[in-house]
A and B are shown apart, each in its own frame.
Chain A
């Protein structure tokens, strides 16, 4: 059963089409990597999936009862966050906010969920630490915990290992793998890293020069798009 379906989608950025006639769908439990050079439209597609930008043609639909506010999103870090005085717990707890609707304060269930996700990413000991004092890898774990508070079904990650060193990056990838396999949470990740994408993802979407490749990872490796991209 598809949980996300893009049908004949064309999206534009500042009046220029960044990709055209993109169609794909992903099922529950899939792990999709979106690859492509800078400016190939990865971020634009991400915004489309998140509902922040409307496609100029075509539709992007959620199905299987998935709603916008049930998506877990791990955005790229902004300059504001790097010196933000907030405790880890405050950040993680804010992931549950969307499910509260108009109710302004957190309840017991939200606090329990936040604790559970801190535990799951083994950062419970950082709970009362200040976010800005953490290392890059720890900060990404905190933001991942927040995203997991917001979703049970679909996790979107926007270049999550940018600026992390190789050891921390591979740790982070294995956490994502675990979440995808053990909790059968669908993962969509925008990435530059072809090798890791091929190793981990079940499906690849490759955007380049307005054309796109979509398919299983095993088929992607044999495609010309992959050969070109890996040669660079």
Chain B
């Protein structure tokens, strides 16, 4: 129980978890701000379930899990976005159908091919032990692509998120940017699933943005705060789960929840102060 930080960091699984966890949480927080504001939070959830289905199929067919999951989830991001833009067929209902079906198919395939083994269990609930050397390299490359595109398109993403009609009217291809956001989210979800698990990855996307919005009042401040807080929560979560021997994904989510409550109280107090000054 009495490990020093150096000792913990000397474990290679812990190193891998941090190397993947930090950039993934950063990407998730950045994209999450846009997704929450655009009311697309459900897409993240839907994508993670599709991701689980893809991983289960990959495992059943003895393929590399990420190589299968990444393209499948990107394609479903495309369709889920179409579904939620087309309100006529009840976007949220359709997403719920797609995500629960994908999860169900994944579980059926798993039980047909040997039952819920450790690998599948860790895809569901997340595990820091599940990361292989290859996963780490691929995760890092994809995270850098997501980060680079996000920073490069930051202003356009703001404009499209704030007001899609204005962007469209002034000649910005808002639909294309929505697609970019969905694809980047798909990548982030697949990468994050390994640590956080299918059932909890969407919280990594939704919590930091919502938490930051309790307190901060400009888009830039919200984005920066969400990013910093997300990374800190993941690092804290990894260490706490190591010491307390709790599931990593769930620990990270609980720490995010604590942050959210603290920020809500701070936001509430500052609002009260604002009214008193008036």
Q: Judging by beta carbons under 8 Å apart, are A106 and B155 in contact?
A: yes
Would you call A97 an interface residue if the criterion is a C-beta within 8 Å of the partner chain's C-beta atoms? Answer: yes
Closest chain-A Cβ to B276's Cβ sits at a distance in Å of 15
Query: Is B169 a contact partner of A75 (Cβ separation < 8 A)?
Result: yes
Cα-based distance from A97 to B171 in the complex (angstroms): 10
Which residues of B are found within 8 Å of A105, using beta-carbon distances? 155
Given A73-B166, A75-B163, A94-B162, is A80 in contact with B37 using a C-beta cutoff of 8 Å?
yes
B217 on the interface (CB 8 Å rule)? yes
Q: Is A90 an interface residue (CB 8 A)?
A: yes
Instruction: Decide yes or no: A98 and B218 within 8 Å by CB, A81-B162, A106-B155 being known contacts.
Output: no
Interface residues of A in 128-165 (CB under 8 A from B): 128-130, 133, 143, 146-147, 150, 156
A residues in contact with B169, CB < 8 Å: 50-52, 71, 73, 75, 156
Q: Please give me the residue from chain A that is nearest to B170 by CB atom.
A: A98
Q: Which residues of B contact A98 (CB under 8 A)?
A: 170-172
Give B89 Cβ to nearest chain A Cβ, in Å.
15
Q: Are A130 and B218 interface neighbours, CB within 8 A?
A: yes
Partner of A84, one of B37, B166, B212, B220: B37
Contacting residues, chain A, for B221 (C-beta < 8 A):
85
Residue of B nearest to A132 (CB): B217
Shortest CB-to-CB span from B92 to chain A, Å, is 15
Complex: how many Å from CA A130 to CA B218?
A: 6
Asked whether B168 lies within 8 Å of A104 as measured between CB atoms, the reply is no
Most chain B CB within a 10 A radius of its CB, from A72, A84, A133:
A84
Does the CB pair B38–A80 fall under 8 Å? yes
Q: Which of B160-176 contact A (CB under 8 A)?
A: 161-172
Give 1 or 0 for each of B183-217: 1 = CB within 8 Å of chain A CB: 00000000000000000000000000000110011
Q: Which residue of A lies closest to B271 (CB)?
A: A133
B217: nearest residue on chain A (CB-CB)? Answer: A130
Asked whether A38 is an interface residue with its Cβ less than 8 Å from the other chain, the reply is no
- B158 contacts A by Cβ under 8 Å: yes
User: A25 in the interface, Cβ–Cβ < 8 Å?
Assistant: no
- The verdict on A150 contacting B170 (CB below 8 Å), with A104-B152, A105-B155 known, is yes
B222 CB-CB contact with A under 8 Å = yes
B272 to chain A, nearest CB (A): 14
Name which residue of chain B comes closest to A87, CB basis: B218
Does A86 lie within 8 Å of B219, measured CB to CB?
A: yes
Interface size on B, residues (CB 8 A): 31
B153 touches A104 (CB 8 A): yes
- Tell whether, in the assembled complex, residue A85 and residue B162 are in contact, meaning their CB atoms are under 8 Å apart: no
Write the chain A residue with the least CB distance to B164: A78
How far apart are A163's CB and chain B's nearest CB, in angstroms?
Answer: 17
Main secondary structure on A side of the interface with B: mixed
Contact B155 A78 (CB under 8 A): no
Contact of B171 among A69, A72, A156 (CB under 8 A): A69
In the assembled complex, which residues on chain A have CB atoms less than 8 Å from the CB atom of B172? 97-98
Whether, in the assembled complex, B39 has its beta carbon less than 8 Å from a beta carbon of chain A, the answer is yes
Q: Which of B158, B159, B165, B222 contacts A75 (CB 8 A)?
A: B165
With known contacts A80-B38, A97-B170, A106-B155, A85–B219 Cβ distance under 8 A: yes
Distance, CA A95 to CA B162, complexed state (A): 11
Does B154 sit within 8 A of A, measured CB to CB?
A: yes
* Residue interface bits A63-102, CB-to-B below 8 A is 1, else 0: 0000111011101101011001111001100110110000
Chain B residues with CB below 8 A from A133, complex form: 217
Would you list which residues of chain B between 86 and 132 have a CB under 8 Å from chain A?
none
Partner of A86, one of B152, B153, B167, B218: B218
Flag if B152 contacts A69 (CB, 8 Å).
Answer: no
Contact of B156 among A67, A95, A104 (CB under 8 A): A104
Interchain CB contact under 8 A, B168 and A52 = yes
Nearest CB on A from B149, distance (A)? 10
B220 partner residues in chain A, CB cutoff 8 A: 87, 90
A23 to B161, CA, bound (A): 35
Which of B37, B154, B164, B165 has most A Cβ within 10 Å? B165
Which of A78, A81, A94 contacts B159 (CB under 8 A)?
Answer: A94
Closest-CB distance, A183 to chain B (whole angstroms): 18
Name 5 interchain pairs, CB-CB below 8 A, sorted by A: A52-B168, A80-B37, A86-B162, A104-B156, A143-B166
Closest 5 CB pairs of A and B: A69-B171, A130-B217, A87-B218, A98-B170, A73-B169
Told that A85-B217, A143-B166 touch, could you supply 14 new A-B pairs with CB distance under 8 A?
A67-B171, A71-B169, A78-B163, A80-B39, A81-B162, A84-B162, A85-B213, A85-B222, A86-B158, A86-B218, A87-B217, A95-B166, A98-B172, A104-B155
